[in-house]
Structure 1
Amino acid sequence: MLTASFPATVFGTNCYLIAPGRGEECVVVDPGIGVVDTLRDALAELRLRPAAVLLTHGHVDHVYSVTPVCGGTVGAYIHRDDRYRLADPLSSLGPQLVSMFEQQFGKAPTWTEPTDVVPIDDRQALELTGMTFEVRHTPGHTEGSVLFGIDEVPDGLPADTEVDSTVLSGDTLFAGSIGRTDLAGGDGEAMQRSLRDVVLPLPDTALVLPGHGPGTTMARERATNPYLQNL
């Protein structure tokens, strides 16, 4: 599958484009703050047309650009337990973050809720762009955090890369770390259950594309990630 990614201007949130190939419809994952221009250029270069936006959770750094990307015709998919966050994700920004936003962009942040919001559930199979995205609910970072699993891997991986599936892990799992649980809606015990019951059973051959930072594999995380030890 064709996979492209780039970090958002603020917080470095990874935005992903997933498609069967160039010139096809694509899925956009987690369009964060300040990605609209970069995303538009990437779509034009690869001749891609957004068919859906998948949101791993409802924090503003993962959803801020969802409405301009959806454009009133493309659905935004989010777990129903985080659906409420799309009403006003800016409410979580404190004065310092608002000031940083104004310095970066020269204006105060604004928000308009996307027109077409599609609530999703655990183990739901989303048939999009000719591919299947399996939803796995992983509360802990937020109430409605999810992973999206795909039974394909990005084109162009090194020949010795032993992976046969892909997981878009949002802020549940990072390379060497996990998402924080001390924000509103976070729950340390729920995160432990999600890691034990959903993340650890993933196969070693799963490529992990997280919401922040570099990609990794489940084999590497199982062996080295301190937050997965002794679960």
Structure 2
Amino acid sequence: MQLVSIGGAVFGAWCHLLVDGDARCVVVDAGAGVAAEVAGLVAARRVRPTAVLATHGHADHTWDAAQLADAWDVPVVLHAADAYRLRDPFGTLGVLGSAPHDPRGPLAEALASVGRDPASYRPPSRVETFGAVDDDPTPDVELYLGGVHLVARHAPGHTEGSTLYLTELDDGTPLALTGDVLFAGTIGRTDLPGGDERRMARTLTEVVRGLDPGTVVVPGHGPTSTMGRELRTNPFLLG
């Protein structure tokens, strides 16, 4: 698998393309302002998208998902516990969301900075989910998206449906797209709607610490790291 990352302008969220050896790809975390660049990369590489994934349902990771998925006639895929967020990107983001007609809201201001009308949001027409709303956590789910293979590992705490996507790079190096669960040197916040400090602590102990130390950690914001480095230096993983 090859990884191509695109920096998003809204809250600095990353968008990723995972491209397999058969010229198929999935897009992970299509936040606002990335659609044109993603579409250009897909066309330039002559790859076929099979799905648009979301590590969780926050708007900075999903705003352009409908535009891309509907254009390619592919589903938006995420954990069932976060699917409701696609219907209300502002209200489910709490203090960062505000209302779409309120230009003072952080999300509305960030959208305006990349030329997105906050009132223009529409949910994707095709949504496919895995897991169950009441699972805590969901067992690993093998995703085969038009031949692209990933493991979805439920990691609640930042949101109810936060998920790590696990795969291997072409050289065999394990890769984890961690969304807003694990960052280089820190972890995701738990004070937004659906966040839970207790569940995050359990995720860190039972899910994150168990990743292979050689895993490349690619978070939803900030720099890339490795699991070995995080186990040695991240204060939330020590002890």
Same fold (TM over 0.5): yes
2:134 paired residue number: none
Deviations 1:13-57 (A, max 9, x none): 110000114x71210000001111111121122112211111100
User: Superposed, which structure 2 residues align to 1:86-97 within 5 Å?
Assistant: 86-91=86-91, 92=93, 93-94=97-98, 95-97=104-106
Question: Is 1:108 matched with 2:118?
Answer: yes
1:3 counterpart SS class = strand
RMSD: 1.7
Structure 2 distance, partners of 1:128, 1:71, is 16
Structure 2 distance, partners of 1:214, 1:208, is 9
1:153 paired residue number: 169
Change in Cα spacing, 1:100 to 1:164, as seen in structure 2 (3 Å) is closer
Q: Contact 1:3–1:154 (CA<8 Å) still a contact in 2?
A: no
Q: Contact 2:57–2:82 (CA<8 Å) still a contact in 1?
A: yes
User: Superposed, which structure 2 residues align to 1:4-153 within 5 Å?
Assistant: 4-21=4-21, 24-71=23-70, 73-91=73-91, 92=93, 93-94=97-98, 95-97=104-106, 98-105=108-115, 107-121=117-131, 122=138, 123-150=140-167, 152-153=168-169
Give unpaired runs (5+ residues) of structure 2: 99-103, 132-137
Structure 2 distance, partners of 1:134, 1:225, is 24
Question: Is 1:216 matched with 2:225?
Answer: yes
Structure 2 distance, partners of 1:190, 1:13, is 23
Q: How far has the Cα of 1:207 moved from its partner?
A: 1.1
Change in Cα spacing, 1:103 to 1:14, as seen in structure 2 (3 Å) is closer
Q: How far has the Cα of 1:104 moved from its partner?
A: 3.9
Runs of at least 4 residues of structure 1 off by over 3 A? 106-109
Q: How far has the Cα of 1:106 moved from its partner?
A: 6.5
Deviations 1:78-117 (A, max 9, x none): 1111111111113331233224433441733422111111
- % identical equivalent positions: 41
1:115 counterpart SS class = coil
Aligned residues: 221
Deviations 1:169-224 (A, max 9, x none): 00000111110011111111110000000000111111111111111111010001
1:9 counterpart SS class = coil
